Amino acid sequence: MANGNGVLGWTPKLWAAVVGLVAYGIVACFLSFRWWKSVKPRRWTLVLVVGAWTMTLGFLIRIIWGIGDNVDSIPVYAIQNLFLLLSPCAYLAFSYMVLPRLATYLDAEDCLFLRSRWIVRIFVTADVVTFLTQASGGGMAASGGDMAKTGDKLTLGGLILQVISFGLFTFLTVWFGYRSRSRHMVWTSRNPSAGQRFFNRWTTLYYVLLLTCVAYLTRCIFRVAEFVNGYDSYLATHEGYFYLLDALPLVIAISLFFFVWPPSIFAHDANALDGGSREYATAIGSPSYDPENKGTDVEMRHV
């Protein structure tokens, strides 16, 4: 609640920031363990782990911001705001890499609206652009004066672009499910997930991906609404909305990947696919994997 103190006329609730720190810290630890124990290669999944840790750091700095005279410190506020604002870009990037790998693994790229290669290139590039735009805007906003107003507009532009790009990705994810379910054999009698544990099924991964899309879009739309209405708006001055519509959906979304870890699913389901193999499932997790040159990558892994 607004109370007339601090940089923005209010101070953060320390207990809420501590809860955020603990929650994200625990999830970051579990994801780090999952990453470390994961089947190789695992480099492309590191982005999710790093994003969880930077979000944790953001809450730590938020606690520091709420202590003593730090509530009047623009630099401390700006730093914690940047960490909490930018860390979710890593979660979006992870999703952008999961969908094309899943489609290629199922040999169902024909059900994608775009080629796997282009999905990664287009959306990861958009993610980088929105990240840099928001980071630049946040840095300018921290300087104060007229530059701050320009920075806020730049940040808002980055957030709007993020909503558009991730909204399009969500459409592609839904489209893939619809097309593959209605036209592809993997959803019917030859489902490769049959007999697998719930968390080891690729179908579970797909539905988790849909749930995370909803969570990320909720957060993105909230952030746009917050910036559109300004720092003195009801959304901005009532901290509960930040936790309800930003921190909570995100921590739930990324925690699901501890249980439903994509590289492990690809390895578990490999032999259930026609013509599939454990080597092939491992190969498609490689950051150097080329969806249009499956055989070459698999052969290289045996060299």
Tokens coding 11: 């101070």
pLDDT at 194: 53
In the chain, the number of structural domains is 1
Place 297 in a pLDDT band, splitting at 50, 70 and 90.
very low
Q: pTM for this structure? A: 0.83
What's the chain's Rg over C-alpha atoms?
21
Q: Where does residue 238 fall: left (phi above 0), alpha (psi -120 to 50 degrees), or beta otherwise?
A: beta
* Residue range of the domain that includes 273: 93-301
pLDDT over 80 at 146, yes or no:
no
Rounded mean pLDDT, 224-240: 88
Place 266 in a pLDDT band, splitting at 50, 70 and 90.
confident
Render pLDDT for 37-67 as a digit per residue (tens, 0 to 9). Answer: 887 767 899 999 999 999 999 999 999 999 9
Tokens coding 109: 């790229």
pLDDT at 196: 64
pLDDT over 60 at 294, yes or no:
no
User: Distance between CA 17 and CA 218 in Å, rounded?
Assistant: 20
| 299 or 133, which is more confident | 133
> Do 205 and 267 touch, CB atoms closer than 8 A?
no
User: Distance between CA 154 and CA 50 in Å, rounded?
Assistant: 25
Write the CB contacts of 28 (distance below 8 Å, at least 6 apart in sequence).
49, 52, 53, 55, 56
| Choice among 94-108, 131-145, 226-240, 261-275 with the minimum mean pLDDT | 261-275
pLDDT at 3: 46
Query: Is position 212 within any domain?
Result: yes
Rounded mean pLDDT, 4-33: 91
| 57 or 120, which is more confident | 57
User: Distance between CA 231 and CA 155 in Å, rounded?
Assistant: 13
Residue 150: count other Cβ atoms within 10 Å of its Cβ: 15
Query: What is the share, in percent, of the chain residues with pLDDT greater than 70?
Result: 81
**Mean pLDDT for all residues in the chain:** 83
Rounded mean pLDDT, 99-110: 87
| Choice among 95-99, 209-213, 220-224, 295-299 with the minimum mean pLDDT | 295-299
Cα dist from 65 to 2, 13, 69, whole Å: 16, 10, 8
Rounded mean pLDDT, 74-97: 94
Query: Is position 120 within any domain?
Result: yes
pLDDT at 231: 80
pLDDT at 49: 97
pLDDT at 282: 40
Please write down the HEC assignment for all residues of the chain.
CCCCCCCCCCCCCHHHHHHHHHHHHHHHHHHHHHHHHCCCCCHHHHHHHHHHHHHHHHHHHHHHHCCHHHHHCHHHHHHHHHHHHHCHHHHHHHHHHHHHHHHHHCCCHHHCCCCHHHHHHHHHHHHHHHHHHHHHHHHHHHCCHHHHHHHHHHHHHHHHHHHHHHHHHHHHHHHHHHHHHHHCHHHCCCCCCCCCCHHHCHHHHHHHHHHHHHHHHHHHHHHHHHHHHCCCCHHHHCHHHHHHHHHHHHHHHHHHHHHCCHHHHHHHHHHHCCCCCHHHHHHCCCCCCCCCCHHHHHHHHCC
Query: Is position 12 within any domain?
Result: no
pLDDT over 70 at 279, yes or no:
no
Write the CB contacts of 187 (distance below 8 Å, at least 6 apart in sequence).
180, 181, 203
> Do 290 and 115 touch, CB atoms closer than 8 A?
no
| Choice among 109-113, 231-235, 266-270 with the minimum mean pLDDT | 266-270
Pick from 93, 222, 85: which is nearest to 165 by CA? 93
Query: Is position 161 within any domain?
Result: yes
pLDDT at 119: 92
Query: Is position 4 within any domain?
Result: no
Query: What is the share, in percent, of the chain residues with pLDDT greater than 90?
Result: 52
Tokens coding 286: 């490689």
Query: Is position 21 within any domain?
Result: no
Query: Is position 83 within any domain?
Result: no
Place 26 in a pLDDT band, splitting at 50, 70 and 90.
very high
Query: Is position 213 within any domain?
Result: yes
Cα dist from 26 to 19, 233, 273, whole Å: 11, 32, 35
